[in-house]
Structure 1
């Protein structure tokens, strides 16, 4: 079938699988916003948009639906043909229950954002700063808080995980101060893990922790040697001619310039990031950061429960596997012991038959003397010691092996 016509997308409607063609997917994203269509496939807006781009399905531009709702007539971008041999993705439409869950999750996020009543205030008074912010302010103003060759100040093993340039330090401290106070009003506290050198936010209600960091982006450029650096380098080279080596001058490879653009990241997996943008700074979105952090805490808690469930399943599967392995090894050991006992019984019977044959021959020859009788007793005793059905042991062969001693 022509790939321009059909895209392999499975739709679960009741219990019947149907096919949807590429044209139909194009109609869907132009009849409703991508966010609505994405719910039907259990995808995010970005995920569905990537699939549409891979299928060369054009999407409405930003503001398209706002103009439509205001009554304007908008033109669609036509659907172009798809190249021959293009691989088709396979998707499954979400059930009505799954769509409802997605909608409820989005509504819960909106509800949490609306319920944030804490007013995030930027304080200019040092005395009013959060204790952890005061500690960071004191530590990061010290000269030894500088890492080498980055122009960023950081001491994440001692104070809050801030990595900013000196000119941006005050702004970073005030942003974090406002956030920590807003977090505490919503039962989220902060502390420093010195061993891991990270800052952790702890949700006291859910009993989970999330990492926190504020990092400034810096611009890196190749360093151009200054006249003084060139002279120092020349002195180092000249020192070899006079037989005494001077210390090699430290000349950085790159220069780092402050940008004043911050990134706040909370959590590892799952996580959230907020960046300064040309249209909005972090100061104007601190309420959003606090609200989204509360949502992230719930997601992290749900993931922790799911991880614990999977770990429990893994442990139970491991225990069951170890039980099966141990049972199999025990059965193999018992079988080997059985085979050994059967082999010993067979050897014992063989020795008895041989002893009986020797005795019969001696009687026929009339030479069953005392020595022959003693040998027959010895041979039958050995057979009895081998026989697992006779509860006797050999006093010599079954005794412990002699230990060699030093005689000289």
Structure 2
């Protein structure tokens, strides 16, 4: 082989080696360029980085500004940071720690186990570039595919090349407010068909599941031209779980939420329904706990997110222990009364929970109430003797019930004897009466329903149990307390207005009566004055007649004196009558002869 051929082969080998080294970088840059071209549809990829510190330094920051504060300080997802803290074995403040601290109550700080000076690495979570959720649904419905850059499976991908070696925790993207309408438009129009001049929707189970978890049900209802109640009923008939109360509020607050997966179901995958054309105008959604200030709201939401059922062996709240004892005594007394044949109306009034749940479910219900009150007590909440919550000074009542299954009744030994006796009597005579034996029994099945102020209802279902909704129940208690406060203030305002109206009416009545009295007085005064004037005119006529003798002159003087006695402007006092009470009416001022009084 000559020298030229050898040099040519060496150059080819070097070129191949250079291509092998540069190929992954080229592929990565290709993907990055394609992502940057679709900037409106993807999230930007940040440079990976890690935070190095000792366990003592991280421990001090956690107990000084909380895990949430550290998460915000270093721009780390809360759940990802919490996972790494647990892996490092660093204790965190327990539930209610910051609330007690805010109210200057004694708190216990957990000590950091050794080694304190060990260096640890906290990795930042790098969000993977991806399309919006609603575009995936749009592609599925419309059958359109966007331009994508293909990366060979054998070469390193962008994610494997850029992300740090730590396991990535999936984060939930918080949809912007303006994205809600865009998302519903991107999904496309729902499938419909015409029949008998009316339009019917076709609801696909998987598609509808994605829609109700992408945007609120009210937005989904607009697309289908029906009410939100109809959408919820369709979801229920297709076994589609819907977001629980507070889901969208938590998303807007940037909190981590976990969608309920679509369960397996034997029901049909599609359902049709009439498009009613209902134009639903959604009300402005009120922010959760909007009546609290920002600091109180943050504390309540933080505690609600951390409520857990205490250990079964943990000591219950004293009020709950006392109530449980009273319930068990009532149940025992009820059994004794039933054994004696007491009439139910004559029995004692049942305690709360005594006749609504079984003895097997009672401990579970009490543990739920115990978890709630222990989490809420640091917030100045308390529990009454009949297990009502006092929240923000308002007494919020709760109701708990256990569902029952209807099963066929199996006759007892005594009932079988009664039936045999009935058959025997029937053979002897036709007037025998059949014993009344129930056909079905109702047996408690352990499914609990929890109602807060008859407004919010929580119950065990296929997707979750009540223990998973403790935070929502706590928020519902606070919301109910605000409703009660508004109702109480409305009643107080109505009572204040009623009393004010009564006061105004009473004042007007007094003024009216005073005006009547004053007018009657004026009338009486004017009548006396008219009498005085008539007397004077008569005196003047007598004097004008002339030829007055001494006796007539004396009479004139006497008559003038009486006229002055009648005249209220002079009010002369008479020798016999004294002063005339001009303000009285004529009947009261009537002159009467004095006679003998026999008594």
Task: With the length of structure 1 as denominator, give the TM-score of the two structures.
Answer: 0.55
The answer to whether 1:114 aligns with 2:114 is: no
Q: Contact conserved, 2:453 with 2:480, CA < 8 A, in 1?
A: no
Residues 136 and 287 of structure 1, relative CA distance in 2, 3 Å threshold: farther
Q: Distance in 1 between matches of 2:508 and 2:519?
A: 16
Q: Secondary structure at the match of 1:394?
A: coil
Q: Contact conserved, 1:161 with 1:214, CA < 8 A, in 2?
A: yes
Hey, what does 1:206 align to over in structure 2? 392
Residues 358 and 254 of structure 1, relative CA distance in 2, 3 Å threshold: farther
Residues 177 and 254 of structure 1, relative CA distance in 2, 3 Å threshold: same
Q: 1:291 aligns with which of 446, 471, 483?
A: 471
Return the offset for 1:174. Answer: 2.1
Structure number with the bigger relative contact order (C-alpha 8 A, sep ≥ 6) is: 1
Hey, what does 1:137 align to over in structure 2? 328
Q: Distance in 1 between matches of 2:468 and 2:545?
A: 115
Structure number having the greater strand percentage: 1
Q: Distance in 1 between matches of 2:468 and 2:276?
A: 45
Q: Secondary structure at the match of 1:115?
A: coil
Q: How many residues align?
A: 321
Hey, what does 2:445 align to over in structure 1? 260
Residues 338 and 61 of structure 1, relative CA distance in 2, 3 Å threshold: same
- Higher radius of gyration, 1 or 2: 2
Residues 78 and 216 of structure 1, relative CA distance in 2, 3 Å threshold: closer
Hey, what does 1:311 align to over in structure 2? 491
Q: Distance in 2 between matches of 1:262 and 1:213?
A: 14
The answer to whether 1:173 aligns with 2:362 is: yes
1:345-399 CA distance string (max 9 Å, x none): 4323321221111101221335635456445533442342998xxx954399469
Return the offset for 1:155. Answer: 6.4
Q: Distance in 1 between matches of 2:579 and 2:468?
A: 88
The answer to whether 1:394 aligns with 2:581 is: yes
Hey, what does 2:154 align to over in structure 1? none
Return the offset for 1:124. Answer: 12
CA RMSD of aligned residues (A): 5.9
Written as runs of structure 1 = structure 2, the 5 A alignment for 1:4-15 is none
Residues 355 and 380 of structure 1, relative CA distance in 2, 3 Å threshold: same
Q: Contact conserved, 2:406 with 2:440, CA < 8 A, in 1?
A: yes
Q: Distance in 1 between matches of 2:215 and 2:544?
A: 107
Q: Distance in 1 between matches of 2:343 and 2:439?
A: 9
Gaps of 5+ in 2: 1-184, 191-206, 220-225, 244-258, 263-268, 292-296, 426-433, 572-577
Residues 52 and 120 of structure 1, relative CA distance in 2, 3 Å threshold: same
Hey, what does 1:162 align to over in structure 2? 354
Residues 214 and 300 of structure 1, relative CA distance in 2, 3 Å threshold: closer
Q: Contact conserved, 1:113 with 1:292, CA < 8 A, in 2?
A: yes
Residues 50 and 266 of structure 1, relative CA distance in 2, 3 Å threshold: closer
Q: Contact conserved, 1:120 with 1:182, CA < 8 A, in 2?
A: yes
Residues 119 and 222 of structure 1, relative CA distance in 2, 3 Å threshold: closer
Hey, what does 1:50 align to over in structure 2? 229
Q: Distance in 1 between matches of 2:322 and 2:452?
A: 22
Return the offset for 1:175. Answer: 0.9
Hey, what does 1:333 align to over in structure 2? 513
